[in-house]
Chains A and B, each alone.
Chain A
Amino acid sequence: MLSTFTTMDLYLLSPMILLFIFSLVPVFTKVLNKNNEPSDMMSLYLPLIGIVFAFIATCGIILIKIVNGAPKLIFSGSIMVDGLAMWSVIIVLFITFFALVLIKESSFTPKHLFSEYVMLMLNAAVGMMVVAYSNDFILTFIGIEMASLCLYMLIAMSEETRLSKEAAIKYFVLGSLASAILLYGIAFIFGTTGTTQFAEITETAATLASTSRLFLVGCVLVFVGLGFKVSIFPFHFWTPDVYQGSSSPLTAFMAAGIKAVCFAALLRFFATGFLAVDRASGLVSTIQWLAVMSMMLGNIAALRQNHLKRILAYSSIAHSGYLLMGLLVVGLSTNSVLGASGTLFYLFSYAIMTIGAFGFLSLFEKSENSMVTVDHLKGLAYRRPYLALVISIFMLSLAGIPPLLGFFSKFYIFSAAMKQGLYWLVIWGVVSSVISVYFYLKPVVYMYMKQEDEALVGEFKDSASVSFTVGVSAALIVIVGLSSGPLYALIRGSVLSLF
């Protein structure tokens, strides 16, 4: 069978294609410029415009195709253009846009390699989008690898010469290990089902899960491999070191982007329904315990940290735990739109909060050996009141305090879990939420209620791009938080097609 593709297929893939083309622009102009760095217009603003174009294209696809029609399988079933894909693409575009804005003024970006940096970042985004679009395990693997390879290099390409290299190599080794485990799982699933496409696996998943041990082993391996990427306990050990070693915009990009698309892939995987059989009940309770441990461990470990980036890294492990709760709901029930939309909404809000939280950290990363601790924030409220307000909004939202976005995303996920009957999981979830309040409020305390530390004041520098980023994120958190209804309805409508 020859697979044909039409211009409509190209249009549906246009966000990816646009980003790829715009990623080549900086490097080409650099080559044409005799290997000197091209102007900002070429290397930064054009890619940003490209992202905006891609965003418009995505909105077009959502409004025209998703809202009115059924999901479309193109490229002989390996790419699925449905609500989940489009929303993940929006998250990736959002993250990439603001990460690009932030890296311009970050002191860790190599100035003489800026075009390559931009190109790698955009290609990492393309890789993430491939994962979002994919309906086929192999395409997922390709996308994850593409994004990860670009990220390994991005982390290493930092002006800071010690921690970043360590972070890069650690991420490389563990990430490749994870990819290999993922691939082995895919092999088993391929062997038992005869296909690697999610849509076709769904047909046989339930029966196979009950009968074939090989299939279940494959599923476990896939879960382990993807679990590494999203830093679920016990595969989370790389997260604090890698997040600490990378520059803040990159950490935001990595934390939110990879997590979003890998959770989208996990969503599709769990939606095949292999967890809903009796044979898999051991696996289900294991995953529940992993979720609980991620939430509790992430939050408790963050309590003892002083280093802001490590606090955010450990808390991101906890957020993975909450997301895993949403995934479990999807996996356990045959028709859980509530779970899928809760998870997607949580990913969306997590992306906004992460870019804001890591964004403001880049204000303090001035020198190579800077370790941004909570002490740097002392008395910030009286030097920069609006910045302090914005940081407080991020912290309160991450802690899940109403009426901000973080509360509503937790509300939707907890509702989905309660509907499914996972009461103990939800109780652990709220308890760990309360624990997290302590270390999320610590920066707020230091900013407002402590005198500034003279020695550390100099480590702070203003930055227009950071102000823009955190301002937009904070505004989104407040506005979307107060009026989350329409967005949630939209997301919910678009994931109906998953089931």
Chain B
Amino acid sequence: MLLSLITFLPVVFALMIWFSGSNEKALKQMAIAFTLIEFALSLLLFRYYDPSVATLQLVEQHTWVSQMGVSYFMGLDGISFWLVILTTFLTPITLLGSWTAVKSKTKGFLVCMLLLETSMIGTFLAMDAILFYVFFEVSLIPMYFLVGIWGGANRLYATMKFFIYTMFGSVFMLLAIIFMMFMAQSQLGFMSASLLDFYKLEIPFVAETFFSTQTLLFFAFSLAFAIKVPTFPFHTWLPDAHVQAPTPGSVILAGVMLKMGTYGFLRFVIPMFPQATEHWAWVLLALAVVGIIYGALVAMVQTDMKKLVAYSSVSHMGYVLLGLFALNTLGITGAIYQMLNHGISTGALFLLVGMVYERTHTREISNYGGLAGYAPIFSILFVIVTMSSIAVPMTNGFIGEFLILQGTFLAKKEFVFFAVTGVVLAAAYMLWMVKRVFFGKMGKVVQEFKDKNESLDINAREFAVMLPLIIMIFWMGLFPGTILKWSDTSVKHLVNNISKYELVIHKNSEANKSLYSKNDKLNIKEKIN
């Protein structure tokens, strides 16, 4: 019950907001209160989830389309645990941070954000492939509206590109899922779309050719997730989407939605296709490394702050992919950690850029300079987040990148050399941007504000928004064990059993069998083949 409650409560809240009059201030307060309630609810997961076993917990399973073996199957394990918490953590922060960013049609905006929250949490908790696909696609719709209605000048092109590009990848994933459902029918005797049954399938693999079943399925799923991550060369939708999106849209897009891609790799690709992963990992590792370096280099030449942060996103997600496909405990743990880090630090960066944009209406770096003297608190926060992004020790970024690099070094040394240059490049573009914006000669825009004697520094609300993020940056940097212990067993279970991965449902060995095998009524009759 808890998982369904966490997933669908935002929809209930969205309906309540839709029918609640039009006092914008009241609506925003309601929404923030709602999302905080949601966050508190998700904290209950700490109480009910047992991190010492690598099983699927808090499971809910009901039939949905019995004829095709599709079920409403939700479950939580160490891999998805932190991602759910990240989502419920970032949403109230985003809403509070966008108090002044969205000026019109507030009701629709709040409804979109809440629906987006539902679809994202659903994606992380779904353990049935079709249910996952449904949530995966549904998340596109509110995002589409968010960018298209409240976005920047070129928003229509950006949002359409985002939608169609992402959907293009995921339809091939749908075909792969359907293929595996029929494979389940022939191998296990009943049709099922449940992930637990997919893990049990023996998919034929021929190493030499591209056209073996496992390889084709591997690439079908990988395409969908690679577009989402985004991996070079499928990343071209991201800069447009980020630049045109409103601040809250960018924060959620970078903070959570990109993680859906890497989560997909971790949940689907690596456990289901072990031989293909092992054989073809070099492709994704190479693309990850290219992404790291390419993202960093392009970021360096950007003149728009938001676009710079967008390309740094590409670079950082390259690290996550690198860690994932190192296929060892250190690498995958680092990847999960870096997913969380990226959510926090890049989310924070977008929030900060948004804050200054609201006041000055320009994001061009050349217009800035010497901001530190005039907006000290803002500058301090920005520099702290920059440190996290660059992976300075004591911040969360360091732990994540260090684990990833260590894991990749143990597995595939060749890629580490290139990846490490990414660390240097990241420092380069971020510090250079900080220098140009905050230090040095006072820029045009800052001068304007100084002349008008207006304050450019952040106010109390915005500080309250940033504070939890800053705290998390340091906590995750200094006490990583407290975070990692919740996902440790699941990751170890994955790595140790990677060639024959199986998830069992916690405490209830009866429910280990799939929904469709134990109940005669739901069994597909012989007549239907």
Contact = CB atoms under 8 A, between A and B. Distances in A.
Direct contact of A and B (CB under 8 A): yes
Interface of A: 335, 337-338, 341, 382, 396, 401-403, 407-408, 411-412, 414-415, 418-419, 426-427, 430-431, 433-434, 437-438, 441, 445, 448-449, 483-485, 488-489, 492, 496
Nearest to A490: B67
B179 interface: yes
Contacts of A484: 65
B502 interface: no
Instruction: Give chain A's interface secondary structure class.
Output: helix
A418 B149 contact: no
Contact of B141 (A337, A396, A445): A396
Contacts of A403: 134, 138
A443 to B, nearest CB: 13
Nearest to B66: A485
Nearest to B216: A423
Given A338-B528, A449-B149, A496-B527, A430 B67 contact: no
Given A403-B134, A426-B175, A434 B141 contact: no
Interface in B139-175: 140-141, 144-145, 148-149, 155-156, 160, 163-164, 167-168, 171-172, 174-175
Interface string B127-143: 00010011001101100
B160 A441 contact: yes
Contacts, number: 88
Contact of A412 (B68, B167, B171, B175): B68
A488 B148 contact: no
B156 A449 contact: yes
A335 B141 contact: no
B68 A445 contact: no
Contacts of A341: 67
Given A407-B137, A411-B130, A449-B148, 13 more contacts: A335-B528, A337-B528, A401-B137, A401-B138, A411-B68, A411-B174, A418-B179, A426-B175, A434-B164, A441-B144, A441-B160, A449-B155, A483-B64
B160 A430 contact: no
B403 to A, nearest CB: 36
A448 B149 CA distance: 7
B455 interface: no
A402 B67 contact: no
Contacts of B149: 448-449
A441 B160 CA distance: 8
B381 interface: no
Given A402-B133, A402-B138, A437 B175 contact: no
Interface string B101-121: 000010000000000000000
Nearest to B65: A485
Given A402-B134, A445-B160, A434 B168 contact: yes
B175 A419 contact: no
A440 B482 CA distance: 48
8 contacts: A341-B67, A401-B167, A402-B138, A407-B134, A408-B65, A414-B178, A441-B144, A488-B68
Interface in B47-70: 63-68, 70
A489 B67 contact: yes
Query: Lowest 5 CB-CB distances: which A-B pairs, in order?
Result: A430-B171, A402-B134, A485-B65, A449-B148, A402-B137
Kindly name the residue among A412, A433, A445 whose own CB sees the greatest number of chain B CB atoms within 10 A: A445
B519 interface: no
B141 A401 contact: yes
B112 to A, nearest CB: 11
A434 B171 contact: yes
Contact of B527 (A337, A402, A407, A412): A337
Contacts of A427: 172, 175
A430 B175 contact: yes
* Contact-residue bracket for chain B: 35 or more
B182 interface: yes
Contact of B156 (A396, A401, A445): A445
A181 to B, nearest CB: 35
Contacts of A445: 148, 156, 160
Contacts of B137: 401-402, 407
A437 B144 CA distance: 12
Contacts of A489: 66-67
B466 interface: no
Kindly name the residue among A411, A431, A433, A484 whose own CB sees the greatest number of chain B CB atoms within 10 A: A411
B181 interface: yes
Contacts of B209: none
Given A412-B68, A485-B64, A418 B178 contact: yes
B529 interface: yes
Contacts of B167: 401, 434, 437
A340 to B, nearest CB: 11
A338 B178 CA distance: 13
Contacts of B171: 430-431, 433-434
Contacts of A407: 134, 137
Contact of A415 (B133, B145, B181): B181
B160 A415 contact: no
A448 to B, nearest CB: 6
Contacts of B141: 396, 401
Nearest to B166: A434
A437 B164 CA distance: 7
B317 to A, nearest CB: 23
Contacts of B68: 411-412, 415, 488
A293 to B, nearest CB: 19
Contacts of A337: 527-528
A487 B66 CA distance: 11
A335 B527 contact: yes
Contacts of A483: 64
Contacts of B140: 401
Contacts of B528: 335, 337-338, 492
B178 A415 contact: yes
B175 A485 contact: no
A488 B524 CA distance: 13
A419 B174 contact: no
Given A402-B138, A414-B178, A430-B171, A485 B163 contact: no
A426 B175 CA distance: 8
A441 B67 CA distance: 31
Nearest to B70: A485
